[in-house]
Amino acid sequence: MTTTNNWEEIFNRACEHSFSLLRSDDVLNINFSAEETNFIRLNKSKVRQISSVEQASFEMDLLCGQKKASLSLDLCADEGSNTELITKHLEELKREVDSLPDDPFITPLTNEGSSRVVNDGLLPSVDEFIDLLGGLMAQVDLAGYLTSGPSYRGSANSLGQKHWFSSTSFFFDYSLYTAKEKAIKGSYAGSTFNRQDFDTKMNESIAALSKMDSEQKVIAPGKYRVYLAPSAVNEVSGMLGWNALSGGAYKRGECPLAELFEGKKKLSEKCNIQEDFSLGLSPRFNDLGEVSSEKISLVSKGKMNELLVSRATEKEYGLKSNQATEREGPRSLSIGEGELTRENILKELGTGLYISDLHYLNWSDKQKARLTGMTRFGCLWVENGEVVGPIKDLRFDETLYQIFGEGLEQVTNFSDVHMTTGTYGNRSIGGSRNPGMIIENFSFTL
Amino acid sequence: MFFMVYAYSAKEGEIEDRGTAMQEIRDLLKKVETVGDWWGVREYSEKGQFRMARNGQNSANSTSVTRGVMVEVMNDGVLGYAATSNLTKAGIEMAFKRASAQARSIAKFSLTQFDESIRPANKGTYSSPVERTLSDLSPAEIQDFLIKTSSVLKKGSSVIEASAWAMLSETEINYISSNGSDWKQNFSILTKDSSVTGKKDDLIQSRSSGMQGLQWGAEALSSETQASTNEKLLTQLDELLCAPECPSETMDLLLTPDQLYLQVHESIGHPLELDRILGDERNYAGWSFVSPEDFGSLKYGPSILNVTYDPTLASEMASFAFDDNGVKATKEHLIKDGVLVRGIGGIESQKRSGIAGVSCARATSWNRPAIDRMGNINIEPGESSVTEMISSTERGVLMETNRSWSIDDYRNKFQFGCEYGRLIENGELKGVVRNPNYRGATVNFWNNLSHVGNKDSFEVWGSPYCGKGEPNQIIRVGHAIPTCKFKNIEVFGGA
């Protein structure tokens, strides 16, 4: 979808109007997101549903002394509607703030300056993408969806701070299937859609699918040597966002990596984890408009240097803030590379499981950093460095201290960037960069 | 809790001018140039509140107000969708044009071809049954309730963190279409939870009331009910901090409704969704081990297992009169006397698959098209008392309140963890165990069902957080369940 509205101007005018309605003791923080998105959902290489969405969310945090209340509204391209909506609801928000008890951990807003980042792109039109499908249909059974269009983030406060981030991008998240229901996962994402790149990606995926055609191997539960491809490591590293790196969670007794932070346990010296905003996947400003360092080293050579700490956690618990979001999860996580070359993966794995993708991870014992999940797309049994065939899916149950610690034998010298493909409510931004890993004694239970 | 009252009255006939927000859309539609062989407009507006207190202090107060429309246009049997929050003439006209253009652009490669029978013309209204409306509660009153709750919980001797939260939603959905649909539904939903985390030496344990969502009103925040909950949480937290790990062995398993509802959700609800069986969800939520041939023959469990899709159970989270395709909602058996008989699929999936389904096409908000979703998926009460289940158990464990869940993309191999366990030995409840978990495979697990609880243990649970779909959507689901017993299940403890 090409943009039809000037969302930056809509954001600026809505901010100005909101600030004009404040009382002398009020301070207002605003977070804005907007998008104009086309979704094309596919099954059996045909279109199951097509939809377009034009939406904008305007979230206001009103602070008055130690009192705070938040309100989000849907804005649109019509300024009159926006003005009327903001006027009505900001009055209600003022009354609410006045009625609430103090929140002792509110931190005062500051002016953290301004920034403006605009990332343009070239997107496929609906017709262009639909034409590409024609070529696909005869070749392969595909399911997935294309998400395409501009998205916007704004942050401002009544003290003068203002940040703007816009990105025109697409992702095509898909999976291909054999007649025996074995599948591989693929994705093509970026800001410039290129027919040649699309064809290359699809051809690579179709070639990978051919490996899934052999007879299925049933593996008994037990401990195995595994290679986790970057997309599988991405699923594991995604769990770090479930309180494992949160300073507040640590203080509340909910941090799976508490023992690592306290130095009671170590990860492998080959394990290095950082927040890396230089990847360009996410704006550096958080929901308060605070700008994070470009890189934050969280785990270095297996030792934890710091947790992600928001200003609220700093005030409540005395940990030093590193401009984390309120959720204190990574926004642009990067796991360090090692020395294992792509060519040597199968040889170094020897006999074991080549795992391209994991599914439905959850903590099975949070206090011990143990997590469970399933193998999913593109998982193969390998013997003496040779692929034997696809496996019947397996459940694993293993600790991060084994995966990133004792069991971590080798890390690849390359990594893949995984853009967030979440579209709950609106399009997520952010992502992570992950290498592949060979791990010993990885536990499968079912 | 046990509710069994019809919650709605669907009125036939012309709907009078209601003076609601939808009236603005009706007026606009008279001026807008509508296009397409058929069209429908679904207006969705919602006021949501999330409030939380921690350790006896105010912690979070946020409100969201959303309102927009989803315009559906059918051209030559193909649907296009366009969503907008721009509720001006220009905004809605643009949405019609986009939806129509999208339908035309995919005509050659559309997976489906329908006619307007997939949007039956229905008229009527639905309102959640409430004693007092949610708007009777001021923000300060809600926060006061939460502060008091977390304050009491924080006083536990081992407690390092205590919290209480409530999420309130007042939703209105209006739907009109070119072939005569005209209905309105109002929902009043409150979800709440309270929890404590305690520490003794190096051991940390948590106990919560379990996230509980229902269609109810201000009466949901009852101080009397919460007082007994607080007492239970503090007592059981202390028990957990002194308890041994749950043993690892194959034994009998009793699951209370606050865990069993998620077991039903993951291993009965999702695999029965027809859009999964048809492959729509293969790239995200997953496929299903159930195949079309299984309907009418698959022995999902013993004859005591009866599972229903029931949008008529008053106060359950997903009770309604119409799904978002405008199909009237009725109670149907999904599993009858242990045999799979019907899928969870709306009218579109029913036409595509030829399998009997239910009225379950639902959308998370105005910005997404409706897809097959669970509504209320319930186990009908059986004959057994909890006392009978315990007394018939030689060695087993009773588990309460979900804390961890995972299942494969075919909805077969699962693993669940609970907050609180009690050993059962020689027909008697024994000591508390911590970190109780179990795992299994769906059909085998349900065929090991030996007892279904009677109405005394039947409880209505609900969650606002069922995720699925591309683009992604969350939806509110309900599960009304009695305590049940299973034989020979693999049970285990912590790391």
Same domain, A243 and A157: no
Same domain, A186 and A251: no
Instruction: Note which residues in 194-233 of chain B have CB less than 8 A from chain A.
Output: 197-199, 204, 206
Question: Over 80: is that where the pLDDT of B14 sits?
Answer: no
Whole-angstrom Cα distance, residue B276 to residue B265? 14
Residue B104: CB atoms within 10 A of its CB come to: 17
pLDDT in tens, B21-53: 567 788 888 888 889 999 999 999 999 999 999
Give how far A35 is from chain B: nearest CA, Å. 11
Query: Does residue B355 contact residue B345 with C-beta atoms inside 8 Å?
Result: yes
| Residue B114 in contact with partner chain A when CB distance is under 8 A | no
A41, B143: Cβ pair inside 8 Å?
Answer: no
Listed in sequence order, the residues at least 6 apart from B92 whose beta carbon sits closer than 8 Å to its beta carbon are B25, B28, B29, B32, B41, B69, B71, B84, B86
> Does residue A175 sit within a domain?
yes
A51, B81: Cβ pair inside 8 Å?
Answer: yes
Identify the pLDDT of residue B3. 28
> Does residue A79 sit within a domain?
yes
Domain boundary among A213, A233, A249: A213
pLDDT in tens, B430-448: 999 999 999 999 999 999 9
Region class of A224: left (phi > 0), else alpha (psi between -120 and 50), else beta: beta
Confirm whether pTM is higher than 0.90: yes
List the domain range (segments joined by +) for residue A146.
7-213
Phi, psi of A261 (to 5 degrees): -60, -35
Taking residues B296-316, report their average pLDDT: 97
β-sheet bridge partners, residue A412:
A340
Same domain, A199 and A274: no
Cis peptide before B292 (omega within 30 of 0): no
| Residue B437 in contact with partner chain A when CB distance is under 8 A | yes
Give how far B487 is from chain A: nearest CA, Å. 18
| Residue B296 in contact with partner chain A when CB distance is under 8 A | no
A254, B197: Cβ pair inside 8 Å?
Answer: yes
Same domain, A229 and A324: yes
Give how far B105 is from chain A: nearest CA, Å. 6
- The closest of B419, B381, B386 to B402, measured between CA atoms, is B419
| Residue A317 in contact with partner chain B when CB distance is under 8 A | no
Same domain, A116 and A246: no
Taking residues B251-270, report their average pLDDT: 98
Burial annotation B476-487 (CB, 10 A radius, 16+ → b, else e)? bbbbbbbbbbbe
Same domain, A192 and A262: no
Identify the pLDDT of residue B12. 31
Burial annotation A348-370 (CB, 10 A radius, 16+ → b, else e)? bbeebbbbbbbbbbbbbbbbbbb
Number of domains chain A contains: 2
Identify the pLDDT of residue A4. 66
Question: Over 60: is that where the pLDDT of B10 sits?
Answer: no
Identify the closest residue of chain A to B162 by CA–CA distance.
A252
Residue A378: CB atoms within 10 A of its CB come to: 25
Give how far B281 is from chain A: nearest CA, Å. 8
β-sheet bridge partners, residue B413:
B441
Whole-angstrom Cα distance, residue A349 to residue A438? 7
Domain boundary among A187, A213, A239: A213
Identify the pLDDT of residue B17. 40
Taking residues B211-230, report their average pLDDT: 95
Query: Does residue A299 contact residue A276 with C-beta atoms inside 8 Å?
Result: no
- The closest of A192, A191, A174 to A183, measured between CA atoms, is A174
Residues of chain B in contact with residue A50, where contact means CB-CB under 8 angstroms, are 80-81, 102-103, 105-106
Question: Over 90: is that where the pLDDT of B102 sits?
Answer: yes
The DSSP-derived string for B75-122 is ETTEEEEEEES--SHHHHHHHHHHHHHHHHHTGGGBS----GGGS---
The amino acid sitting at A398 is E
Query: Does residue B481 contact residue B261 with C-beta atoms inside 8 Å?
Result: yes
Identify the closest residue of chain A to B280 by CA–CA distance.
A43
Whole-angstrom Cα distance, residue A46 to residue B113? 12
Question: Over 50: is that where the pLDDT of B8 sits?
Answer: no
Same domain, A82 and A120: yes
Residues of chain A in contact with residue B415, where contact means CB-CB under 8 angstroms, are 364, 372, 395, 397, 445-446
Identify the pLDDT of residue B22. 67
Identify the closest residue of chain B to A48 by CA–CA distance.
B111
Q: Tell me whether strands A183-190 and B413-425 are parallel, antiparallel or unpaired.
A: unpaired
pLDDT in tens, B185-201: 999 999 999 999 999 99
Same domain, A230 and A346: yes
> Does residue A261 sit within a domain?
yes
User: Which of A41, A49, A133 to mutate to probe the B interface, most B CBs <10 Å?
Assistant: A49
User: For each of chain A's 446 residues, which pLDDT tens digit applies?
Assistant: 555 689 999 999 999 999 999 999 999 999 999 999 999 999 999 999 999 999 999 999 999 999 999 999 999 999 999 999 999 999 999 999 999 999 999 989 999 899 998 988 899 899 999 888 888 777 899 999 999 999 999 999 999 999 999 989 999 999 999 999 999 999 999 899 999 999 999 999 999 999 899 999 999 999 999 999 999 999 999 999 999 999 999 999 999 999 999 999 999 999 999 999 998 888 888 988 898 999 999 999 999 999 999 999 999 999 999 999 999 999 999 999 999 999 999 999 999 999 999 999 999 999 999 999 999 999 999 999 999 999 999 999 999 999 999 999 999 999 999 988 999 999 998 899 999 999 999 999 99
> Does residue A2 sit within a domain?
no
- The closest of B300, B275, B296 to B286, measured between CA atoms, is B275
For the record, the structure tokens of B464 come out as 């606002």
Phi, psi of A366 (to 5 degrees): -60, -40
- The helix (H) or strand (E) run that includes residue B41 is strand B38-54
Residue A19: CB atoms within 10 A of its CB come to: 17
Same domain, A247 and A275: yes
> Does residue A358 sit within a domain?
yes
Question: Over 60: is that where the pLDDT of B6 sits?
Answer: no
Whole-angstrom Cα distance, residue B256 to residue B250? 19
Identify the pLDDT of residue A112. 84
User: Which of B54, B114, B266, B283 to mutate to probe the A interface, most A CBs <10 Å?
Assistant: B283
ipTM > 0.90 (yes/no) = yes
Q: What residue spans in chain B does CATH classification 3.30.2290.10 cover?
A: 21-241
Question: Over 90: is that where the pLDDT of B205 sits?
Answer: yes
Whole-angstrom Cα distance, residue A306 to residue B395? 46
Give how far A277 is from chain B: nearest CA, Å. 26
Identify the closest residue of chain A to B363 by CA–CA distance.
A425
For the record, the structure tokens of A113 come out as 């300056």
- Band of residue B262 on the pLDDT scale cut at 50, 70, 90: very high
At CA A366, angle to CA A363 and CA A370, rounded to 5?
Answer: 60
B21-241: CATH homologous superfamily? Answer: PmbA/TldD superfamily (3.30.2290.10)
Whole-angstrom Cα distance, residue A306 to residue A298? 5
Residues of chain B in contact with residue A130, where contact means CB-CB under 8 angstroms, are 105-106, 108-109
In the Cβ-directed half-sphere of B59, how many Cα atoms lie within 13 Å?
24
Tokens 């009466």: give the residue: B219
Same domain, A235 and A137: no
Domain boundary among A182, A213, A244: A213
Give how far B429 is from chain A: nearest CA, Å. 25
Residues of chain B in contact with residue A96, where contact means CB-CB under 8 angstroms, are 61, 63, 139
Across chain B, mean pLDDT equals 94
CA B46 vs CA A48, A248, B134, B198: distances in Å = 28, 31, 13, 37
Identify the closest residue of chain A to B365 by CA–CA distance.
A425
> Does residue A128 sit within a domain?
yes
* CA B198 to chain CA mean position, Å: 30
Whole-angstrom Cα distance, residue B287 to residue B440? 18
Question: Over 80: is that where the pLDDT of B5 sits?
Answer: no
A127, B105: Cβ pair inside 8 Å?
Answer: yes
The DSSP-derived string for B325-369 is T-PBP--EEEEETTEE---B--HHHHHHH-----S-EE-SSTTS-
Question: Over 90: is that where the pLDDT of B15 sits?
Answer: no
Residues of chain B in contact with residue A74, where contact means CB-CB under 8 angstroms, are 65-68, 85
> Does residue A322 sit within a domain?
yes
Same domain, A121 and A240: no
Same domain, A200 and A124: yes
B204, A134: Cβ pair inside 8 Å?
Answer: no
pLDDT in tens, B445-486: 999 999 999 999 999 999 999 999 999 999 999 999 999 999
Give how far B149 is from chain A: nearest CA, Å. 15
Identify the pLDDT of residue A1. 53
Query: Does residue A171 contact residue A421 with C-beta atoms inside 8 Å?
Result: yes
Tokens 């929140």: give the residue: A103
> Does residue A134 sit within a domain?
yes
Question: Which CATH number goes with the domain that contains A13?
Answer: 3.30.2290.10
Instruction: Note which residues in 327-366 of chain A have CB less than 8 A from chain B.
Output: 359-366
B406, A445: Cβ pair inside 8 Å?
Answer: no
β-sheet bridge partners, residue B428:
B425
pLDDT in tens, B367-391: 999 999 999 999 999 999 999 999 9
Identify the closest residue of chain B to A47 by CA–CA distance.
B110
